[in-house]
Structure 1
Amino acid sequence: MKKLAFLFIMIGIVLLSIGGYQYFNIQAAEQQAANEANKRLEDSKNQTKDSSSHQRTIENFSPNTGDAVGFLHIPAIEAELPIIEGTDPEELEKGVGHYDTSAYPTENDQIVMSGHRDTVFRSLGEVEVGDTFMVELPYGNFEYEMVDSKIVDADDTSIIQSTAPKEELVITTCYPFSYIGNAPERYIIYAKPIYE
């Protein structure tokens, strides 16, 4: 009986160690992505100051897969999350992934961002209709207001579609939030631009 108890304790220690190691790696990857995004934003501001002919526009913005391009700010949950170009597992470990086939702000189409429910979007379920999101990129800051949400099957890709000429921010994550393992559904937030 003592051997069995010892075995369970050892298994518990190993599992906690693996979980802790993974958590540390994810936190380090997010911090590195945040540093890269801050540098990119700062470089863009400096270029604009140094050259009167250089404008901060979408035309001068062409990120590569894996680049940290900016931040997604969610004031309701006090989140400042790095935006990474691409949505493969490597990108989603660093922050919020931008679907590379979707638009960016000012392109007047659907902007799709995705993240893990157990890392960057842990508290996303607390965001409500009327709450705002701010997308900070090298060519400007863009604000959106949540107008709706829905839950779909995990393999439902119908939410990704052109909305041209109307701009729409779509944020997706796995659902339910407390599910352990591969979640069977996706939680979708729809947000519309706030024009000043």
Structure 2
Amino acid sequence: MIIRKPKKKRIMGKWIIAFWLLSAVGVLLLMPAEASVAKYQQNQQIAAIDRTGTAAETDSSLDVAKIELGDPVGILTIPSISLKLPIYDGTSDKILENGVGITEGTGDITGGNGKNPLIAGHSGLYKDNLFDDLPSVKKGEKFYIKVDGEQHAYQIDRIEEVQKDELQRNFVTYLEPNPNEDRVTLMTCTPKGINTHRFLVYGKRVTFTKSELKDEENKQQKLSWKWLLGSTVFLSVMIIGSLFVYKKKK
């Protein structure tokens, strides 16, 4: 005599399997889709600066946003965390939702000894990954700034985490320029969602080598493909495993 499991339990099993499958698909597809919307204007401006050295003419639907943002003054690239963002002049809310900004009163990014502009960016925004991964960079790595058609390379020689109030009290001490060095400092809030501290990454300008930047970018692209492959395998295993469990329970 064959004893069948109650219909309600079979239906519940199907719902549990469906939930896990939809969750996996959501993680892999939904979040990147959300991020792609936020990155549309970033990529448009970055591509234009890469081609011409100046910001793009946006379409009419983006005119209002363009007025609020202004034109980007450069591009920041950090290969080690696969980051490429437009740099704007200022740190308004609109700017920091769409890229990174130069803190007022800290100078410009055109380069030269005695300069140390502070480039600030948000972390922890739902719709975009801006400076979320900045705390993952390491001393000795490089970041790059494209400005006026030229690429400037900066090597990270110091990293520190400072309380927000401490930085405000001693701002000049932490960001004081060196008359004999060309420097740039990157900053974001930390920990995500709490923001009691500021994460500072200091870079000193070094000789730019085009092939070196290309090698770094290629290396990070390979890592991205590995992540995508791993995610695909994970999703496949979940689907096959779920079907196996379902058939076994039937």
TM-score, with structure 2 as normaliser? 0.54
Bigger share in strand: 1
Contact 1:96 1:114 (C-alpha < 8 Å) held by counterparts: yes
User: Which of 36, 48, 51 is the aligned partner of 1:42?
Assistant: 51
> How far off its partner does 1:130 sit?
0.5
1:136 aligns with 146
Instruction: Tell me the number of residue pairs that the alignment of Structure 1 and Structure 2 aligns.
Output: 154
* CA positional deviation for 1:65: 6.2
Give the 3-state SS of the residue equivalent to 2:185 in structure 1.
strand
> How far apart are residue 41 of structure 1 and its match?
4.0
Name the CA distance, whole Å, in 2 between partners of 1:171 and 1:71: 13
Q: Tell me the distance in 2 between the aligned counterparts of 1:98 and 1:86.
A: 5
In the alignment, residue 70 of structure 1 is paired with which amino acid? G
Rounded to whole Å, the distance in 1 between the matches of 2:180 and 2:37 is: 39
Give the counterpart of 1:107 among 112, 116, 137: 112
Aligned to 1:168: 183
**Higher share in helix:** 2
Q: In the aligned structure 2, how far is the partner of 1:126 from the partner of 1:107?
A: 27
- Aligned AA (1:175): T
Give unmatched runs, 5+ long, in structure 2: 1-29, 55-67, 209-250
Q: Which has the larger radius of gyration?
A: 2
Shift of residue 100 of structure 1?
A: 3.9
Q: How does 1:80-159 map onto structure 2 within 5 Å?
A: 80-101=84-105, 102-108=107-113, 109-118=115-124, 119-155=129-165, 156-157=167-168, 158=171, 159=174
Q: What residue number does 1:68 align with?
A: 72
CA distance in 1, matches of 2:162, 2:205: 23
Structure 1 residues 165-184: Cα deviation after superposition (integer angstroms, max 9, x where no partner): 421110000012xx324x11
**1:96-127, CA deviations, whole angstroms, 9 ceiling, x for partnerless residues?**
11224323132321121110122311111111
In structure 2, distance between residues paired with 1:100 and 1:36: 22
The answer for the alignment partner of 1:180 in structure 2 is 193
Contact 1:115 / 1:173 at 8 angstroms: preserved in 2? yes
Letter in 2 for 1:81: L
In structure 1, stretches of 5+ residues that fail to align are: 1-19, 46-63
Percent sequence identity over matched residues? 24
SS in 2 for 1:83: strand
Q: Is the 8 A contact 2:117 2:183 kept in 1?
A: yes
Query: For 2:117, what is the secondary structure of its paired residue?
Result: strand
> Is the contact between residue 158 and residue 201 of structure 2 (CA under 8 Å) also seen in structure 1?
yes
Tell me the SS of whatever aligns to 2:94: helix
Deviation at 1:27? Answer: 5.2
Structure 2 letter corresponding to 1:120: L
The secondary structure found in structure 2 opposite 1:172 is strand
Coordinate RMSD, CA, aligned: 2.6
Partner SS state of residue 31, structure 1: helix
TM-score (norm 1): 0.68
